[in-house]
Amino acid sequence: MPQSPATPLPSPKERRRLREAKSLSQADVAAKVGVTRETVRSWELGRTSPRGRKREAYARLLDVVPAETAAAPAERRRPAGTTATARRPAPAPAPVKELALAERRSAQRGTDGGGTGSNGSRSRTRPQPAAKRAAKPHGPLPMTATTATLNGHTRPHPARTVPAAGTAGPRGLTPDQAFDSLCAHCAPGLVRQTYLLTGRRDLAQESVERAFQLAWQRWPEVAVDRDPAGWVRAAAYEYAMSPWHRFRPSQRHPDAPPALPADRAFLDVLLSLPPAQRRTLMLYDGVGLDLPETAAETEASTPAAANRLLHARRAIADRLPDLADPEALHRRLGEVGGAEKLRLPKAERVRTGSEHRARFWTRAAIAFTALIIGATALTLKTAPTHYEPPQAPGRAISGVPPRMGPGPLTHEDQTLHHKLHAQLTTGPHRLTPKLT
């Protein structure tokens, strides 16, 4: 969401970092601003943004926290990551706890002590202390070539934030150049993700192209979004996983499977999952989103997203035991997605197709409106101007014989009729008057 220039706020991640650097909990910030703890958590996740006086108070709190902390009570000055005895957080749901334990085991097995998770990012279950977060780079850690192919083009780097439409960005990019940069940055990984979700190459390419066309049509809205790549990803996923594609003639026959038997087996297991679990698995283990962001993008609660993820991992581990480790599953997703040669949408073609589609539907709407107006005018022209009551249906009247007409002639009557017409009439001659 665009932020007000009068009270600027840092990015959601920077808000959380500043709060932890000042050794304040979310409950402390909520008490100072006058909101609930869930509201502060939503601000730090970027789902919502404060407005009005609360926005100004939140901005002052992030900048004037040291002076206020000195006068705060002792029980409210505790370091980040610790819990007070009198105020304990609510216990996490069972699926979230189970997922957190799995991530810790994976981190202990596959990391070198840096505190990272299964895919090289920071822990998704609890925040790290401010000192570790300050020493740790904000960008993703180095990945292999196949993993970077799948994940590296999904979320734009903060330095490559797309400028708003009609304005120049930090590098003076026009809207066309900013859109082309977004398309070139996100399209390769997004095509591979949609292919893993659907198992169809043409549908994956079409979904990504349609998503970027929709983004260009709504570019003023997408350009100011906090995550343009996530906006395009959500649109591509919705189009690719639409159940209406099953009625298309081109989608009745399956695509050719991958060449390698291992890739073919993994894709069959992945496509056997329910669509909701498949999408959650792709966002969490493939793209690398954390659990709240995955739940928000799939329009589900955090426990529901954790349940889907655990069921999907368990189903894959039952049929492919080598992928029981989340890190191995993450790497396998990148390998299978990067092994396919898929056609990437061209930014110029996407923009041209989006404009042609917009013009077509605009003209179709105008023509349909003109047709309705013409039909209405014709109806008004030909409609009667006064009321004519309908004629009452006839009814029988008692006491009057019905009017009868001549009936058909019998055989004898017809014979007599022909005989009278054929013979000459005999009788007295016709008298003719004479003048005297």
172 phi-psi bin (left φ>0, alpha ψ -120 to 50, beta other): left
Q: Which of 71-85, 207-221, 302-316 has the lowest mean pLDDT?
A: 71-85
pLDDT tens profile 293-314 = 899 888 889 999 999 999 999 9
Residue 71 has pLDDT above 80, yes or no: no
Question: Which residue's entry shows tokens 């979904």?
Answer: 207
Domain 12-76 part of CATH 1.10.260.40:
yes
Task: Name the pLDDT band for 430 (thresholds 50, 70, 90).
Answer: low
Please give the backbone phi and psi of residue 37, each rounded to the nearest 5 degrees, phi first. -65, -35
pLDDT tens profile 137-164 = 333 323 333 333 444 433 333 333 344 4
Task: Name the pLDDT band for 369 (thresholds 50, 70, 90).
Answer: very high
Quick one: pLDDT at residue 304? 92
Q: Which of 127, 257, 255 is nearest to 200 (CA)?
A: 255
Task: Name the pLDDT band for 93 (thresholds 50, 70, 90).
Answer: low
Q: Tell me, which fold does domain 145-348 have in CATH?
A: Butyryl-CoA Dehydrogenase, subunit A; domain 3 (1.20.140)
Quick one: pLDDT at residue 108? 55
The sign of the torsion formed by the CA atoms of 257, 260, 265, 267 equals negative
pLDDT tens profile 309-355 = 999 999 999 999 998 888 889 888 988 888 888 888 888 888 888 88
Residue 279 has pLDDT above 80, yes or no: yes
User: What percentage of the chain carries pLDDT values higher than 90?
Assistant: 21
The sign of the torsion formed by the CA atoms of 206, 260, 330, 319 equals positive
Task: Name the pLDDT band for 379 (thresholds 50, 70, 90).
Answer: very high
Crossing angle of helices 201-217 and 175-198, rounded to 10°: 150
Q: Where are the chain's structural domains? A: 12-76, 145-348
pLDDT tens profile 161-209 = 344 434 444 456 888 889 989 989 889 999 999 999 999 888 999 999 9
Contact call for residues 87 and 27 (beta carbons, < 8 A): yes
Quick one: pLDDT at residue 370? 96
Give the mean model confidence (pLDDT) for residues 84-110. 53
> Distance between CA atoms of 106 and 127, rounded to whole angstroms?
17
The sign of the torsion formed by the CA atoms of 255, 260, 263, 266 equals positive
Three-class DSSP labels, the chain: CCCCCCCCCCCHHHHHHHHHHCCCCHHHHHHHHCCCHHHHHHHHHCCCCCCHHHHHHHHHHHHHHHHHHHCCCHHHCCCCCCCCCCCCCCCCCHHHHHHHHHHHHHHHHHCCCCCECCCCCECCCCCCCHHHHHHCCCCCCCCCHHHHHHHCCCCCCHHHCCCCCCCCCCCCCCHHHHHHHHHHHHHHHHHHHHHHHHCCHHHHHHHHHHHHHHHHHCHHHHHCCCCHHHHHHHHHHHHHCCHHHHHCHHHCCCCCCCCCHHHHHHHHHHHCCCHHHHHHHHHHHHHCCCHHHHHHHCCCCHHHHHHHHHHHHHHHHHHCHHHCCHHHHHHHHHHHHHHCCCCCCCHHHHHHHHHHHHHHHHHHHHHHHHHHHHHHHHHHHHCCCCCCCCCCCCCCCCCCCCCCCCCCCCHHHHHHHHHHHHCCCCCCCCCCCCCC
Please indicate whether residue 99 or residue 144 has the higher confidence score (pLDDT). Answer: 99
pTM reported for the whole predicted model: 0.54
Q: Which of 10-19, 107-116, 215-224, 235-244 has the lowest mean pLDDT?
A: 107-116
